[in-house]
Amino acid sequence: MKHTLKSLPLSNSFAKLPEDFYARVEPSPTLNAAELIHFNPAAAKLLDLLPGCHHSTEFKAIFSGNQSINNAAHIAMRYAGHQFGQFVPSLGDGRAIMLGETTNSLGQAWEIQLKGSGMTPFSRMGDGRAVLRSSIREYLCSEAMFGLGIATTRALCITACDDKVYREQIETSAILTRLAPSHVRFGSLEYFYYRDKFELLKQLIDYVIHYHYPELSGNDNPYLALLQEVIARTAKLIAQWQAVGFCHGVMNTDNMSILGLTLDYGPFGFLDSYNPHHICNHSDHAGRYAYDQQPQVGLWNLACLAQTLTPFISEDDARQALDQYWQIFATEQQQLMARKLGFENHNDDLEPLTKSLLSQMQQSQTDYTCFFRQLCDLERDNNQANPTLKDMFLEPERFDQWLKDYRQALRQYAPPDMSRQIDMKQANPKYVLRNHMAQLAIEKAEQEKDYSEIDRLIRLLQNPFDEHAEMQGYANPAPESVEQIAISCSS
């Protein structure tokens, strides 16, 4: 059944918990008239909304925080977190307000959250607003990650107005409507653990299991089973990030989803040239969240989560669960890299091949996405080196040797060319959201109120494995000028 906004069945299971877990707060109306600058039909389908619903005045008013929806229980969630390794005991949704949740015809529950809708009790001297540039970046990247097949929050729409907000400079405010089955984070559990409020902590964990991991409720120790499941989901998620060259930029425990979703897009970035030490966050001076550190940080964050469960599981059980992380991560990463190279399954013979390739790519600063996409067209039995591939390397003779070894491996382990090439093109995206692409959309929106680039990129990034011949320019390596784009925590 399709719904208008008035008929959308809305509840809020999280708001049924005690108010220790959240604060009741209403969105702050905008000072100036709000404008709907983009709407995502794919996300609207998750809510069973009628096509064309976004054309109504009501839609714009609700998703700019200027009108209530179905008398929902609006809340801002409370949590703590380890930020850059330091524990911060009191955080929370400082600029996000949950409108409620709805369950669609497939039985999927989706929380609806306004990000940038004004002050909450957790704003910590902030204004609770989001700027247009950060809203556009999260909107584009959450849909790009969905298109890549990576677990993520989704984005329904962006509204904006001429209200001014003050960051490093005066900017325009915007509100992003974000969807997720749950916005509970590792830091949500940390908040109660470090206050010794174990009864409330247990209540929160029971809520998570009941609503999001019901299959674990009959387990002999559902709390240990929950930890094991979150470890597995997180390990696989970060392996997927590594495979597509995604850098989160700020992997604090309050930005880690209890469901294993990619959550909170701030100073993210995709690799251009292959540099395993790449730091996408201009604020990360020590490189804690560099690309090659993400797997280790994932385990560190999971250890923080495991600590919160020790009132209910033994430390030995927690330690043994964490010991499984690297095996799960390595298995997933190896399989993903095997598929990127055209092999149906990983085997140990492929390890030297992969290591040699990545070493050469690092030395030559080879474009990560472009190389793997162009490799898809390589013919197994044509010994002529592809000149485009060869031009990506500083030592062409060394790369020639790699190609010789690679072709031999293809003959031994891979399917025939035609089926292999099709499979490789489903493992290697042609398009990722490079910083300069997002920046162009931001500049057009800020300077000209032209939102066509957002629309173009959404359509492209929701299907990043397709050819899109008319958009070939977006598949090219980033121009040299992108090095001047600095992305920080305020982005």
Q: What is the Cα–Cα distance from 210 to 350, expressed in whole angstroms?
A: 42
Q: How many CA atoms lie within 13 A of 266 on its CB side?
A: 17
Q: What is the DSSP string of 275-323?
A: -TT----TT-TT-TT-GGGHHHHHHHHHHHHHHHTTTTS-HHHHHHHHH
pLDDT of residue 486: 62
Q: How far is CA 491 from CA 281, 369, 377, in A?
A: 9, 24, 37
Q: How many CA atoms lie within 13 A of 175 on its CB side?
A: 34
Q: What is the DSSP string of 30-48?
A: PSS--EEEEE-HHHHHHTT
Alpha helix positions (H), 159-197: 186-193
Token duo for residue 250:
């700020």
Pick the closest to residue 300 from 80, 86, 489, 90 (CA basis): 86
Per-residue pLDDT of the chain in tens (491 residues, 90 and over written 9): 899 998 999 999 999 999 999 999 999 999 999 999 999 999 999 999 999 999 999 999 999 999 988 878 899 999 999 999 999 999 999 999 999 999 999 999 999 999 999 999 999 888 999 999 999 999 999 999 999 999 999 999 999 999 999 888 899 999 999 999 999 999 999 999 999 999 999 999 999 999 999 999 999 999 999 999 999 999 999 999 999 999 999 999 999 999 999 999 999 999 999 999 999 999 999 999 999 999 999 999 999 999 999 999 999 999 999 999 999 999 999 999 999 999 999 999 999 999 999 999 999 999 999 999 999 999 998 877 678 899 999 999 999 999 999 999 999 999 999 999 999 999 999 999 999 999 999 999 999 999 999 999 999 999 999 999 999 999 999 887 765 566 766 55
Catalytic residue, candidates 163, 254, 264, 317: 254
Neighbouring-strand partners of residue 172:
164
Name the phi and psi angles at 285, rounded to 5: -65, -30
Q: What is the Cα–Cα distance from 210 to 216, expressed in whole angstroms?
A: 8
Q: What is the Cα–Cα distance from 146 to 10, expressed in whole angstroms?
A: 24
Token duo for residue 285:
């001076």
Residues 327-365 as b or e (16 or more Cβ within 10 Å = b)? ebbeebbbbbbbbbbbbeebeeebeebbebbeebbeebe
Residues 279-294 as b or e (16 or more Cβ within 10 Å = b)? bbbebbeeebbbbebb
pTM metric for this prediction? 0.97
DSSP code for 151 = -
* Residue 100 backbone zone (phi > 0: left; psi -120 to 50: alpha; other: beta): left
Token duo for residue 222:
């559902």
pLDDT of residue 485: 67
DSSP code for 129 = B
pLDDT of residue 483: 58
For the chain, which residues make up each domain, given as ranges? 14-183, 343-425
Q: How many C-beta atoms surround the C-beta of residue 489 within 10 A? A: 16
Taking the C-alpha atoms of 165, 166, 170 and 172 in order, what is their torsion angle to the nearest 10 degrees? -20
Q: Which helix (H) or strand (E) holds 419?
A: helix 417-425
Give the burial class of 19: count Cβ atoms within 10 A of its Cβ; 0-12 exposed, 13-18 middle, 19 or more buried: exposed
pLDDT of residue 72: 80
Token duo for residue 73:
């229980």
Q: What is the Cα–Cα distance from 319 to 122, expressed in whole angstroms?
A: 33
Q: Are 343 and 413 in contact (CB under 8 A)?
A: yes
Q: What is the Cα–Cα distance from 250 to 286, expressed in whole angstroms?
A: 12
Q: What is the Cα–Cα distance from 181 to 109, expressed in whole angstroms?
A: 6
Q: What is the Cα–Cα distance from 285 to 294, expressed in whole angstroms?
A: 15
Q: How far is CA 126 from CA 93, 129, 161, in A?
A: 11, 8, 19
Q: What is the Cα–Cα distance from 120 to 92, expressed in whole angstroms?
A: 9
Q: What is the Cα–Cα distance from 126 to 76, expressed in whole angstroms?
A: 15
Active site residue 254: yes
